A = this chain, B = another copy of it.
């Protein structure tokens, strides 16, 4: 959500000159993405987004992310397409950081997603899974079940300062998930962070997906669980069954869930809620004093977690039996 690295006009122009996209006409730092610095570029040919990768993105993961966007775009998915420079490289260096120019994608994130948006997201998610099926690279999901205990350990001592009982509840939820976490589900490329910020719409029509910097190889149905968490709850914490139904129906119009995926849906939703609760909790407890950016509320995901703990089957999410 910020521009962390300041680049001079001279550095930018020299960088852009290495690409076959025309001379640089304008560059504006933009507030997009959470982790990186982004500039909107206007060149003699078109508009582009330039991303400078900051510390939280590991440099060794960049070939996966950039290769994935190229692969998905070639497979027909609307996503930013990394542009290759004259030497054929999509990944360069600028101002001491890895840097990539991608195509500009029209559309806007929706603040208040409706049922139609949820249906469209379900469809797009399944298309992403199909388009990613033959992507040859793999990347471990560092924020899946084996990554949750280290986060819990960072946060547990102060968890009850956020709300009483949070520590014990989380400890129990984590132990249960570690014990019961499903294995052997159909896996492949997942987006892993397909929140409303990362899905562009033009009116009701989904125009593209962005921000693949949590993408990894994991159970496909876990990605759906992330989306159910991110899109189908109301501001008051209630689960909107109609939205859930729309999302799952949209997904299954493109890729039918296998019975074991249907069966695993409640525990996958629980895991997804815990994952976002834990990262938010760690951020919440580690805000530098006086910081201007307010971290996201971990309790939103605590409430979602407790909803999932009461769910008995995929029917509770709107999936027809």
Contact B27 A30 (CB under 8 A): no
Question: Is A292 among interface residues, defined by CB-CB distance under 8 A?
Answer: yes
Residues of B within 8 A of A57 (CB): none
CA distance A310 to B127 in the complex (A): 71
> Using Cβ atoms and an 8 Å threshold, which residues of chain B touch A289?
289-290
Take A25-B202, A288-B290 as given contacts and tell me if A9 and B40 are in contact as well, using a CB distance cutoff of 8 Å: no
CB distance from A22 to the nearest CB of B (A): 12
Among candidates B26, B111, B290, residue contacting A9 with C-beta atoms closer than 8 Å: B111
Residues of B contacting A105 with CB < 8 Å?
A: 26
A106→B290 contact, CB < 8 A: no
A128 to B291, CA, bound (A): 40
Contacts of A109 in B (CB 8 A): 9
Within 8 A of B (CB), among A83-123: 104-112
Contact of A108 among B12, B47, B106, B201 (CB under 8 A): B12
Q: Looking at the complex, which one of B24, B25, B31, B290 makes contact with A30 (CB distance below 8 Å)? A: B31
Q: Scan residues 30-50 of chain A and give those whose CB is less than 8 A from a CB of chain B.
A: 30-32, 40, 42, 47
Residues on B with beta carbons closer than 8 Å to the beta carbon of A201: 9
Contacting residue for A107 out of B26, B31, B40, B111, CB 8 A: B26
Inter-chain contacts of A3 with B (CB < 8 A): 31
Interface residue count on the A side (C-beta < 8 Å) = 38
Number of copies: 2
Interface contact A10-B112, CB-CB below 8 Å: yes
List of B residues within 8 angstroms of A107 by Cβ: 25-26
How many angstroms between the C-alpha atoms of A290 and B290 in the bound complex?
A: 4
Residues of B within 8 A of A40 (CB): 28, 30, 40
A8 to B3, alpha carbons, bound, how many Å? 21
Most-contacted residue by chain B among A23, A29, A293 (CB, 10 A)? A29
| Among A3, A25, A28, A105, residue most surrounded by chain B Cβ atoms (within 10 Å) | A28
The answer to whether B290 and A110 touch across the interface, beta carbons within 8 angstroms, is no
* Partner of A28 from B24, B32, B293 at Cβ < 8 Å: B32
Within 8 A of B (CB), among A182-229: 200-202
Question: Which chain B positions have C-beta within 8 A of A111?
Answer: 8-10
With the chains together, A291 CA to B292 CA distance in Å?
7
Q: How far is the CB of A210 from chain B (nearest CB, A)?
A: 11
Closest to A26 in B: B106
Contacts of A26 in B (CB 8 A): 104-108, 200
Residues of B within 8 A of A290 (CB): 288-291
- Rounded to whole angstroms, the CA-CA distance of A186 and B2 in the bound complex is 43
* Distance to closest chain B CB from A197 (angstroms): 11
10 A-B pairs closest in CB distance: A290-B290, A29-B31, A8-B111, A25-B106, A28-B30, A9-B108, A26-B106, A289-B290, A3-B31, A292-B292
Q: Can you show 17 pairs from A to B with CB atoms below 8 A apart?
A: A3-B31, A8-B112, A9-B108, A9-B201, A12-B108, A13-B108, A23-B202, A25-B202, A26-B200, A28-B28, A30-B30, A30-B31, A30-B40, A42-B47, A42-B106, A290-B290, A291-B292
